[in-house]
Chains A and B, each alone.
Chain A
């Protein structure tokens, strides 16, 4: 009789593990070249220490269990929250800015056909609030996606300034991707959409200077299912593959939950989906 695994995880046989490692190495090389230092956070932490920072949406999706003493633990629910905890508990203002990279799994309660163990590689810039650091994150993201051989990639950039003026009803409609209830097709385009938001205008100019304008669009209808973003947030996709393969954004208030005031921006690539997108290409 075969021994089964729980739903939401998978094995990697030698050939699959080899391909996976090569993919991770390719991405890591980009991160290294851009000056990001690899770090790693624990696979699980105390739930009550992370829960305020995680926010209700992420709390709903995380995987919790008890340790032998009956304390509630959470399997790494994302990278950003544990990294915020790590920065605040281990370091101080004098260590900033930091450029860190990671490559580890996160764990989410699986939706009907989703993974529970989701492998992510990503980076964070901590202690820099400039639009240039936003641009650096987006540029690193594009380079990483190109390095693994994906063609026709795109990044849609949203911003809290687009979302904040909306009513709760409109926000809820956008979160459900119901443009009928929202009342119109949300605007999406280039630099012309962001001339009245100085930091986005600066970001657009920087991306133009870096020759990356063709990859990015500003999207006024983009909304995220995590609560901690304070500025830009974005999704990456590849044409012809139906799901987003990475996402990120700016979270200037998150680290202060743990006692250190530090702005930050980062992104995570969904390695499982990148593998799938490469197979579809």
Chain B
């Protein structure tokens, strides 16, 4: 099946957007606009072969799974939390971080009591982590400033992403354990992984030479 329509890539905005764009540039795919100074949310490359969508990182899997985008660039953390039905093509190596447990005092997570309150954006991963050693925890679902929760007394510990540990230290929290390590991934829609197989394979091979 020959393809003439551009291949659509949903890219998480923010840090992943800049890195993703830089990577595509290295592969010779350049865009007139990087969308930084406009309110537009999509841009097509100069040859008309690739369209980028700028979406929230947590929305990348939805665009890819439902065929709104053929490909996506998103953190492994988002994939682990959402378990979307997509194909994971390539480890892009950048945006390295860890999902960690942190609290005000050092303690082995396995020694925490039942009904420990855990503040997190990553509820599915937190649940899976504690389920593995049979500990029932109470979720405190937050969307930001997670590090405040123990200090303000609404949670006993937190489960959050950290790259350098600086934010944790600044908020007087110590790491208790690592849930997983994450880097950015190239993902594909299941059908696109077939209908655009050759394009995706050569793009992936090209990207790999620049990692």
Residue positions of A touching B, CB distance < 8 A: 152, 154, 156, 176-181, 185, 188, 214, 217, 219, 237-244
Closest residue to B192 on the A side, CB-wise? A242
Contact between A240 and B67 (Cβ–Cβ < 8 Å)? Answer: yes
Picked from B192, B194, B204, the residue with its CB within 8 Å of the CB of A188 is: B194
Mark interface residues in B85-117 (1 if CB within 8 Å of A CB, else 0).
111111100000000000000000000000000
- Bound form: Cα–Cα A152–B195 in Å: 9
Contact between B65 and A180 (Cβ–Cβ < 8 Å)? Answer: no
Contact between A242 and B67 (Cβ–Cβ < 8 Å)? Answer: yes
Contact between A242 and B201 (Cβ–Cβ < 8 Å)? Answer: no
Contact between A242 and B195 (Cβ–Cβ < 8 Å)? Answer: no
A177 partner residues in chain B, CB cutoff 8 A: 85-88, 190, 193
Closest residue to A217 on the B side, CB-wise? B194
- Bound form: Cα–Cα A188–B185 in Å: 21
A242 partner residues in chain B, CB cutoff 8 A: 65-67, 189-192
Contact between B67 and A241 (Cβ–Cβ < 8 Å)? Answer: yes
- Bound form: Cα–Cα A177–B85 in Å: 8
Contact between B194 and A185 (Cβ–Cβ < 8 Å)? Answer: no
Q: A152-B1, A242-B66 are in contact. Are A178 and B88 (CB under 8 A)?
A: yes
| Cβ < 8 Å to A, chain B residues 63-96 | 65-67, 85-91
Check B197 for interface membership: any CB of A closer than 8 A: yes
- Bound form: Cα–Cα A177–B65 in Å: 12
Contact between A180 and B191 (Cβ–Cβ < 8 Å)? Answer: no
Contact between A180 and B90 (Cβ–Cβ < 8 Å)? Answer: yes
Contact between A154 and B67 (Cβ–Cβ < 8 Å)? Answer: no
A154-B194, A181-B88 known; 20 other A-B pairs, CB under 8 Å?
A: A154-B1, A154-B195, A156-B194, A176-B88, A177-B87, A177-B88, A177-B193, A179-B88, A179-B89, A180-B90, A185-B89, A185-B200, A219-B194, A237-B191, A237-B195, A238-B191, A239-B3, A241-B191, A242-B189, A243-B190
Closest residue to B66 on the A side, CB-wise? A242
B contact residues, total (Cβ < 8 Å): 24
- Chief secondary structure at chain A's binding surface: mixed
A sample of 5 cross-chain residue pairs with beta-carbon separation below 8 angstroms, ordered by A number, consists of: A185-B201, A237-B195, A239-B3, A240-B67, A241-B67
Give the distance to chain A from B114, nearest Cβ to Cβ, in Å. Answer: 28
Contact between B191 and A244 (Cβ–Cβ < 8 Å)? Answer: yes
Closest residue to B64 on the A side, CB-wise? A242
Contact between A243 and B91 (Cβ–Cβ < 8 Å)? Answer: no
- Bound form: Cα–Cα A39–B90 in Å: 46
A241 partner residues in chain B, CB cutoff 8 A: 67, 191
- Bound form: Cα–Cα A156–B193 in Å: 11
Contact between A217 and B197 (Cβ–Cβ < 8 Å)? Answer: yes
- Bound form: Cα–Cα A154–B1 in Å: 8
Best-surrounded residue of B66, B194, B200, B201 (most CB of chain A within 10 A): B194
Give the distance to chain A from B29, nearest Cβ to Cβ, in Å. Answer: 19
Give the distance to chain B from A256, nearest Cβ to Cβ, in Å. Answer: 33
Picked from A152, A156, A180, A217, the residue with its CB within 8 Å of the CB of B91 is: A180
Give the distance to chain A from B6, nearest Cβ to Cβ, in Å. Answer: 13
Best-surrounded residue of A185, A214, A238 (most CB of chain B within 10 A): A185
Contact between B197 and A188 (Cβ–Cβ < 8 Å)? Answer: yes
A217 partner residues in chain B, CB cutoff 8 A: 194, 197
Mark interface residues in B43-75 (1 if CB within 8 Å of A CB, else 0).
000000000000000000000011100000000
- Bound form: Cα–Cα A232–B151 in Å: 59
Q: A219-B194, A239-B195, A244-B190 are in contact. Are A180 and B1 (CB under 8 A)?
A: no
Contact between B1 and A239 (Cβ–Cβ < 8 Å)? Answer: yes
A238 partner residues in chain B, CB cutoff 8 A: 191
A156 partner residues in chain B, CB cutoff 8 A: 194
Closest residue to A280 on the B side, CB-wise? B67
- Bound form: Cα–Cα A123–B87 in Å: 29
B86 partner residues in chain A, CB cutoff 8 A: 177
